[in-house]
């Protein structure tokens, strides 16, 4: 019987794609800020027959990868496992660079509200979201 153990590579910053410079979480429990990308804008029918505009904000993260190393392997094999995992991720034909989208916020606006916006978000816009004790602020980065 062969025993194997699962070795995960060291965690990297998984927010790099959506945020070039990560926003710090503000102290004292006052508020939290993060960056997200507009990935979908669609028209949705409500149960009351109204049409609303749905704006989805998501954060793109790298999917974690793992390397399986038999338990009997040397210490060198254990040290090389994270390096091999990173090399495999870097090669596109091995499924490297696979990303997953984490939904962060969906905003629903009536058609009238959408029309009143002078600067409407578009797909690909990077937005900064701040959630505070009694408010939620969303604005385009830059």
pLDDT tens by residue, 60-119: 877 665 666 666 667 887 788 778 777 776 666 555 556 778 899 999 999 999 999 999
In this structure, what token pair is assigned to residue 106? Answer: 């969906």
How is residue 122 written in tokens? 């578009």
Give the whole-angstrom CA distance, residue 40 versus residue 9: 32
pLDDT band at residue 15, thresholds of 50, 70 and 90? very low
Query: What's the CA gap between 119 and 55, in Å, rounded?
Result: 14
Distances (CA, A) of 33 to 23, 26, 44, 123: 6, 7, 28, 20
- pLDDT of 65 reads 59
pLDDT in tens, 49-76: 999 999 999 998 776 656 666 666 678 8
Task: Look at the pTM and tell me if it is higher than 0.85.
Answer: no
65-69 contacts: CB < 8 A, separation 24 or more?
65/9, 65/89, 66/6, 66/7, 66/8, 66/9, 67/7, 67/9, 68/4, 68/5, 68/6, 68/7, 69/4, 69/5, 69/7
Q: How confident is the model over 37-44, as a mean pLDDT?
A: 96
pLDDT at residue 77, rounded to an integer: 77
Cα of 65 vs its chain's centroid, Å: 16
């Amino acid at each position: 019987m062969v025993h194997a153990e699962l070795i995960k590579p060291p965690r990297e910053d998984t927010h790099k794609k959506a945020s070039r410079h990560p926003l710090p979480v503000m102290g004292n429990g006052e508020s939290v800020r993060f960056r997200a990308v507009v990935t979908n804008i669609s028209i949705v029918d409500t149960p009351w027959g109204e049409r609303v505009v749905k704006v989805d904000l998501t954060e793109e993260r790298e999917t974690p990868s793992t390397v399986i190393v038999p338990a009997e392997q040397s210490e060198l094999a254990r040290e090389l496992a994270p390096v091999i995992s990173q090399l495999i991720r870097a090669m596109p034909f091995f499924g490297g660079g696979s990303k997953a989208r984490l939904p962060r916020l969906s905003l629903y606006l009536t058609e009238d509200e959408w029309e009143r916006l002078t600067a409407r978000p578009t797909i690909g816009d990077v937005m900064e979201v701040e959630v505070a004790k009694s408010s939620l602020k969303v604005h385009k980065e830059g």
